[in-house]
Copies of this chain bind each other. A is one copy, B any other.
C-alpha cells in the first residue's frame, strides 16, 4: 500500500472517442461478454453516456484521501475508478470534489461505494456511477494506491483501460483492445439494425436464427393445454 504509479500508458484516445458512440450493452457483447461491472453500479442521474481512460484508486473503507492524490495523476479525458479494500457504503465524493474533477478535465467517477450531494452533482451535470448514495463522510488518514490494478464491482480494472458507462451500467475494455472492440461493436450494430427491422415486421427469432431444428434436437416438446370450460 501507499504507491502511486505515474505516467501510465493510456488507451488510444481515438478508440475511446469512437467507443463513446456505442452503448455499453453492445460493446460488452462485442468483446465477448467480459468486463461488465456488477449491476448494482447505477448512474446518479440517467441519460448520459461517457467514455474515458481509467485512473484507478484503491482506498481503505471510509477514507477518501487517495482520491485527492489521484486527481493530480489525471489527464483530460480520464475517468477515475475507485474501489475500497473492503465493502463500504460511505459517501467518498460530493460536489466539491466534482468541481475539482471538472476543472481537471476528468469525465466521470466510477465508485464501488457511496457518493453524496446528488442534487448538486445532477445540477452540475457531472456523471457518477456508484453503489449507493450516502451523506456519510470519510476521513483522510490512511494510504491506498493509485494506478494499480483493482477489482471494482467484481471486475479487474487496469490503469489506462477504457471505461464506458451509460444507463445500462459500466464496461471495461482492455487498453489495447479498443480498436478491435470498436470494429466488432460496429459489425454487431449493423447486424442488430437488420434484425430489429425483421423483428418489427413480426418475424420470429426462432426463424431468423433457425432455432427450430436445434430445439427439437434438444428434446423440446409442444403439448396441448388442458381444454377447460
Q: Which residues of A contact B (CB under 8 A)?
A: 1-9, 23-25, 28-29, 32-34, 36, 38-40, 42, 46-47, 60-63, 65, 68-69, 71-72, 85-91, 94-97, 99-100, 102-104, 114, 116-119, 132-137, 139-143, 147, 149, 151, 154-156, 159, 166-169, 171, 192, 195-196, 199-206, 209, 211, 215, 218-229
Number of copies of this chain in the oligomer? 6
A36 to B9: give the CA distance in the assembly, Å.
28
B89→A86 contact, CB < 8 A: yes
**14 A–B contacts, CB within 8 A, in A order:** A25-B137, A34-B85, A46-B119, A65-B215, A69-B211, A86-B88, A91-B168, A96-B192, A97-B205, A100-B204, A141-B142, A142-B218, A143-B215, A143-B219
Q: Which residue of B lies closest to A118 (CB)?
A: B167
Partner of A137, one of B5, B29, B69, B167: B29
User: What 10 pairs across the A-B complex have the smallest Cβ distances?
Assistant: A141-B141, A39-B134, A61-B62, A100-B199, A68-B205, A99-B199, A25-B135, A61-B61, A135-B168, A103-B202
Contacts of A225 in B (CB 8 A): 5-9, 147, 159
Write the nearest CB–CB distance from A151 to chain B, whole angstroms: 5
B221→A4 contact, CB < 8 A: yes
A65→B211 contact, CB < 8 A: yes
A171 to B69: give the CA distance in the assembly, Å.
28
A7 to B222: give the CA distance in the assembly, Å.
10
A196→B90 contact, CB < 8 A: no
Q: Which residue of B lies closest to A176 (CB)?
A: B229
Contacts of A86 in B (CB 8 A): 62, 88-90, 134, 136
Contacts of A156 in B (CB 8 A): 149, 151, 156
B220→A137 contact, CB < 8 A: no
Q: Which residue of B lies closest to A28 (CB)?
A: B135
B6→A134 contact, CB < 8 A: no
